[in-house]
Chains A and B, each alone.
Chain A
Amino acid sequence: MAEELTFILVIVLVAMAVGLAFSIGANDETLASLVGAGVLKFKLALILGGFAIGLGMILFSGGFVPETVGKNLLGEGLGEKYTNYMLLTVLISSIIWLVVGSFAGIPLSSTHSLIGSIVGVIIVYSIFQGGVDLNTAFNYEKLRDVVLSWFISPISGLLITYVLFKFSAKFLLSRLRGLNQIEKSEKNFKWLLLIAVLFAEIWVGANSGEALAILLGLRENYSITGGQYITFAIICGIFSFLGIYFAARYVIRNLASHMIDTRPSEGFIIQMSSAIILMIATLFALPISHSHVIVFCIIGMNIAQRKEVDYKGLGKMGIFWILTFPIAGILAGFIYFGLNMFGFT
């Protein structure tokens, strides 16, 4: 009976991880600037974008972000392993908080939510179950790096965008005098935008390690084999492609319709800046929020162009961003404590 339950739980977790990969694709808006600029036909853009995100997810499944979230955040006291109920709790808690955020109309970070949930679960486990000293429950160095990266990455995005825009303005954009020249230059930027968006999509896929982290957690506690992990990672990549192709199209089309006036040069700078940040974070195995980076890149662009920035709206968003980590943690803690009460550890 216990074995059957464990088997069902593993299947549920794998299914949820695949579902999470689908939702990563479904929530991706990176292609909007590409579609808005009319660079490619809509379906082709979806196919290429979906392929890039899936490729990024699969190529970087062997370590990097999935390893940080699925293994390296845990300290020696926990033997660097999650139990399956821990993983289940982390997923449930993240989903609940993200759904609440969606109903409140606030874009929340799935990464922050997931890491917050992990922290909450481990604290509860250490105190009530494992008798683990909290000093050894976490890999504090890694946790510190991850949390620091959440602050550094958006600010770096803002700065890179600002510098890139100022540089391109000084040496190219400000030298374009007439509408004909501007149009011609923007036509060239269209193709650069295509490259930047696909490049960004690869790193979005690579950095969105939530789904693979669950699978990696299962691999580490020997619920699945290494071979199965690779197979499921490929399936996750395919599902992130399907997420973009079947679900993200509505958001992309909607956002793209508001971006008709956006210049491809601006889109290129924003996408390239966010891709650079995502790439660096991924190579350092740090899970960061793509949406936070993009929002700050747009702010960087607005500051560089001396446009108005909605600091009030940003402040409200910032509060929810900061609250995500502790709230997801508390929520996960309560859920895991509840499961513990029924003997599911």
Chain B
Amino acid sequence: MREFDEKELNKLSIDELTILFMDNINEQNLKMIKGIEFLVQEKFDKFKENLNYVIDTNTEVQIKKKFESKIFKSKLMFSKADRLKLFNKINNIKDIGEYLANRMLLYKVVFPDEKFKLQIQLILKSLRKISNDLSNAVKLIGTDLSKAHDICEEIKEERRIMRKEEWKLLNRLYNYDMDYLSRTFLYLKNLIEDIMMLADHMKDFSEYIQFLAIKYLIFD
């Protein structure tokens, strides 16, 4: 993600800054997901590179600062608090992503078998879809809350599918025939739980977007 200069950011509205921020965070999410896929493929250098990107990138800080100064002085009337909350929820994704990336970089795990790899990839596929959908939903808040609401419904459905896979995976992890290194067990357990945490936050976020749709849309 490229750096932004102050003038460029100044020109953007609250809505545009939110979309830019979401794009930025989504890009980092996708990098992280790709990084985990590299881990599954045991391409550790690329894994490290991708996850470090998530940790080191701070273009979102620029956008965040600009957003905060703008919303404070903004003449938005009644959606100000909701817009701020929305932005903070996007920011929380970044926080969770960073936490996840840091934890994952502590160790380079080798997955126990191919089925395990396949299951993780299924979960990551869902996570990627959720992240992209969420980004699209945020983009639509300013222009079409109804569509944003529908996309969020899809996110919730995807999260349901994903959760089933996660429990299957955890079940396999705890009941695996062979004993593996305690580090491997702990790492994999944390990896699955952290992905769950990130996905749950995204689901909560999508529910918040649905709440906004219900709050602001008027039906005749």
Contacts and interface: CB of A to CB of B under 8 A. Distances in A.
Contacts of A166: 220
A182 B216 contact: yes
B77 A180 contact: no
B40 interface: no
Q: Decide if the interface of chain B is mainly helix, strand, loop or mixed.
A: loop
B102 to A, nearest CB: 34
Contact of B212 (A174, A179, A187, A260): A179
Q: Tell me the interface secondary structure of chain A in the complex.
A: helix
Interface in B133-150: 140-146
A170 B140 CA distance: 22
A179 B142 contact: yes
Contacts of B27: none
B15 interface: yes
Given A178-B140, A179-B145, A169 B79 contact: no
Contacts of A177: 143-146, 217
Nearest to A166: B220
Interface string A34-56: 00011000000000000000000
Nearest to B140: A178
Interface string A135-171: 0000000000000000000000000000000100110
B78 interface: yes
Interface string B140-168: 11111110000000000000000000000
Contacts of B145: 177-179
Interface string A248-264: 00000000000011111
B77 A178 contact: no
A317 to B, nearest CB: 27
A186 B212 CA distance: 16
A129 interface: no
B216 A179 contact: yes
Interface string B71-92: 0000011110101000000000
Looking at B141, B216, B219, the one whose CB has the most chain A CB atoms below 10 A away is B216
Nearest to A189: B77
A181 B77 contact: no
Contacts of A183: 76-79
A176 interface: yes
B78 A180 contact: no
A146 to B, nearest CB: 37
A186 B218 CA distance: 13
Contact of B142 (A173, A180, A186, A262): A180
A190 B77 contact: yes
A176 B219 CA distance: 10
Nearest to B147: A177
Contacts of B78: 37, 183, 186, 260-264
Contacts of B81: 260-261
Contact of B15 (A179, A186, A187): A179
Given A177-B143, A177-B144, A180-B15, A169 B218 contact: yes
Contact of B141 (A176, A179, A263, A305): A179
A315 B216 CA distance: 30
Contacts of A262: 78
A166 B78 CA distance: 21
Interface string B196-220: 0000000000000000100011111
A37 B76 CA distance: 10
A206 to B, nearest CB: 30
Interface in B76-119: 76-79, 81, 83
A178 B143 CA distance: 4
Interface of B: 15, 76-79, 81, 83, 140-146, 212, 216-220
Given A38-B77, A174-B219, A264-B78, 9 more contacts: A37-B78, A170-B220, A174-B220, A177-B144, A179-B142, A180-B143, A182-B79, A182-B216, A183-B78
